[in-house]
Amino acid sequence: MHKIAALLAAGSLALSACAGPAIAEEPVNAPAATRLAKEQKGLKTAIFAGGCFWGVEGVFSHVKGVTGAVSGYHGGTAKSASYEVVSSGLTDHAEAVKITYDPSVVRYDQLLQVLFSVVADPTLKNRQGPDVGTQYRAAIIPTNAEQAAVAKAYLAQMGKSGVWSKPIVTGIESYKTFYPAEAYHQDFMLKNPKHGYITRWDAPKVAALKRMFPALYRASFLKDAG
């Protein structure tokens, strides 16, 4: 991206996505899955949407076994896969993160538990934290049949767990093309640790990951992943 375009894009952040006051989020003890993922050897890909992709990417970049985490857009067309257009809320895209992981270190069901414990509130529709709009919906996007089966079982388990007082509204979406976001969004938490949004909303999620999932937590940020 040219310098001028990058500056304009960065300046627009405070006016569009990933900005705004709201009630503080609290981590939740999402249940461990009863339907464990049975995955073959070799790296696998998972895609999750959970509000602003800075925090989703930031949390999973600290999970052991994750070898790649890329912020991007999922659900819409190539033509509309840009930050400016997606931030309008008028596309089918969600801000999402494509995660590459080693199932011998961290299973897909464990990634789901992390997602709903410290990243996304599954009872919120078309919003997360301070961000409102369809682009901030929480969603699970399976990339294979095993992930789809695990996700379906886990959502059903969550609904019966009693952990959440409100209905679970997060859904499973069919996989479409994932479009990586602009370069300035990648590794955003690592590059901008003092950014107001990061310190207010996303750093606490990483701290919760460390506290709640010590066996999965990795201190170093997975730089330039994916």
The pTM assigned to this predicted structure is: 0.90
Query: What are the residue ranges spanned by the domains of the chain?
Result: 3-20+30-212
Has 52 been annotated as catalytic? yes
Q: Is 135 exposed, middle or buried (0-12, 13-18, 19+ CB in 10 A)?
A: buried
Look at residues 179, 158, 36, 169 and name the one whose alpha carbon lies nearest to residue 109.
36
CATH number, domain 3-20+30-212, options 3.30.1060.10, 3.90.1150.10, 2.40.30.60, 3.40.50.620: 3.30.1060.10
Local confidence pLDDT in tens for the 226 residues of the chain:
332 233 334 444 433 456 544 444 789 999 999 999 999 999 999 999 999 999 999 999 999 999 999 999 999 999 999 999 999 999 999 999 999 999 999 999 999 999 999 999 999 999 999 999 999 999 999 999 999 999 999 999 999 999 999 999 999 999 999 999 999 999 999 999 999 999 999 999 999 999 999 999 999 998 754 4
Q: Which of 17, 52, 81, 112 is flagged as catalytic?
A: 52
